[in-house]
Amino acid sequence: MAKIKTIGLTRYVTHILLLAFSGVLAILLLMLLVFQLLISTEKIAPANAGEVEARNEMAQLKERLSFPDKLKPNYYDYIYFAKNGDVKNTSLSEESLEDAVKRYKNKNDSYPTGTFLSFSDGSYVLFLWQYKAQFTNARLRAIFPNFEVLFIIGTAFVLILFFVLYVRRASKQIKAKLILVEQASQQITQKNLDSAINAATGIIEFDHVLQSMEEMRGALKESLVQQWETQQQRKKEIAALTHDINTPLTVINGNAELLLEEELDAEQRQLIQHIHDSGMKTKKYLHLLQQISNFDVVQEEKVPVAIEAIMDDLSKILLPLAKQKGIELDIQHKHDLTTIMVAPVLLTRALVNIGNNAISYTASGSVKVTIEKQKQKLAFIFEDTGPGFSPEALNHAKEMFWQQDQSRTINNNYGIGLSIVEQVANYHQGQLKLENTAVGGKVTLTLTIND
């Protein structure tokens, strides 16, 4: 493949302007040649045709020494006056005649566009002409009396047409070059980092941008690979650590349970119970740590999934939890969709997380789940009759490891669930919104959908 010759942006723009100027000049020269061709083929009479015809007529009248009954002019006009100055014959209209009589008063004066010829009987004739190109065809001349104006309009039309077409062509060329830059940008945005950016526009400045994007692609790919390797190493280390810690914890908890079965006084039982509870809590922490380590949104691809199947899975998980607390679970559909393009495991996990949280914080009443289409979004709305979110929770509940009670002794809300849900929302080009209603809390998970 031949290498594309590159030029600077200034030179490229100058080249476009020079071509435009050359095109305008060529059109003007072409129109001038057309004008000359029309004259040479006698389609158009030259600008001085009226004067030439009038003077030829004057020469013939001088030989005759009298005015005939009527003249038949093509490119000039005449007014024949009697000896007393009355108009006896003319080729002019009444309005033009009145104007000409006022302008050409003295037959002894010399006029640039008219002249008088006197006869022996005292009568005289005024010949009038205009310096303008005219059609030789009488019918066309009657329709378009001023060919020059028509020619100028035609030339202007051709120039405008050329300008419009040339601008469109130049715009397409520039747009084609900018598209290469845009495609490179989209390639990086979509994280398609395996394919090198080898496009060339032929403009130095644009190619420098593409080269910078290629360097950015390479650096980003290297960074992501390193990040992935670091994450994998971290997972291995956490898995090994949790395994190593879990073994002695199991022994501790097991021994504590055995001791609790023995006959103990109140103080001993309380101390051993604390050991057992602390061990169980530590195991929960380890499970939580493992959960965070194993969570990776980008591992699951989006596929077409039936909404009914997702909601059935959600209902099977949440309904027993709701019944256990004596809470009503109400699932409503307000959409006409059958399938959506989602990561099903991640979405189900996120919905279960929200639903479980709503049930956990609702002492009595109900949890309503509404699936609603909102333009290009699909919203999963969870509304409960619990205490709602505190002002602090509204601001921080989606943060990793945040919990409502900073002493970590009252509840087990470690800020993991909603943080994961928000990652799932972002993966689906959506959002997670927390708010309060008049009767409780409200959590809305929206996903972008394609109809």
Which parts of 128-203 fold into alpha helices (H)? 138-143, 147-189
Tell me the pLDDT band of 43, cut-offs 50, 70 and 90. Answer: very high
In the chain, count H helices and then E strands: 11, 13
Q: 257-282 pLDDT, tens per residue?
A: 888 888 888 888 888 888 888 888 78
* Domains in the chain: boundaries: 48-131, 299-448
Other beta carbons within 10 angstroms of residue 102's beta carbon come to 8
Most confidently modeled range among 68-82, 99-113, 292-306, 371-385: 371-385
Tell me the pLDDT band of 323, cut-offs 50, 70 and 90. Answer: very high
What pLDDT is recorded for position 280? 83
Tell me the pLDDT band of 159, cut-offs 50, 70 and 90. Answer: very high
3-state secondary structure of 369: strand
Tell me the pLDDT band of 443, cut-offs 50, 70 and 90. Answer: very high
What pLDDT is recorded for position 157? 95
Scan for tokens 């949440």, then name that residue: 318
Question: Residues 233-261: what's their mean pLDDT?
Answer: 82
**Torsion angle (degrees, nearest 10) of CA 23, 27, 30, 31:** -170
Backbone dihedral angles phi then psi of residue 115, each to the nearest 5 degrees: -155, 155
What pLDDT is recorded for position 70? 80
Instruction: Let me know: does 312 contact 331? Beta carbons within 8 Å.
Output: no
What pLDDT is recorded for position 408? 32
Concatenated DSSP letters of 182-226: HHHHHHHHTT--SS------SBHHHHHHHHHHHHHHHHHHHHHHH
Please determine, for residue 235, whether its predicted confidence score (pLDDT) is greater than 90: no
3-state secondary structure of 381: strand
Please determine, for residue 19, whether its predicted confidence score (pLDDT) is greater than 80: yes
Tell me the pLDDT band of 409, cut-offs 50, 70 and 90. Answer: very low
Q: Report the alpha-carbon distance of residue 313 to residue 352 in Å, rounded.
A: 9
Strands 431-436 and 377-384: unpaired
Q: Report the alpha-carbon distance of residue 4 to residue 180 in Å, rounded.
A: 14
Question: Residues 174-178: what's their mean pLDDT?
Answer: 88
Domain 299-448 has CATH 2.160.10.10: no
Which parts of 295-408 fold into alpha helices (H)? 307-325, 344-360, 391-396
Higher pLDDT, residue 413 or 184: 184
Q: Report the alpha-carbon distance of residue 376 to residue 451 in Å, rounded.
A: 8
Please determine, for residue 243, whether its predicted confidence score (pLDDT) is greater than 60: yes
Question: Residues 2-9: what's their mean pLDDT?
Answer: 72
Q: Which residues on neighbouring strands pair with residue 221, listed in sequence order?
A: none
Tell me the pLDDT band of 152, cut-offs 50, 70 and 90. Answer: very high
**Torsion angle (degrees, nearest 10) of CA 109, 113, 119, 125:** -120
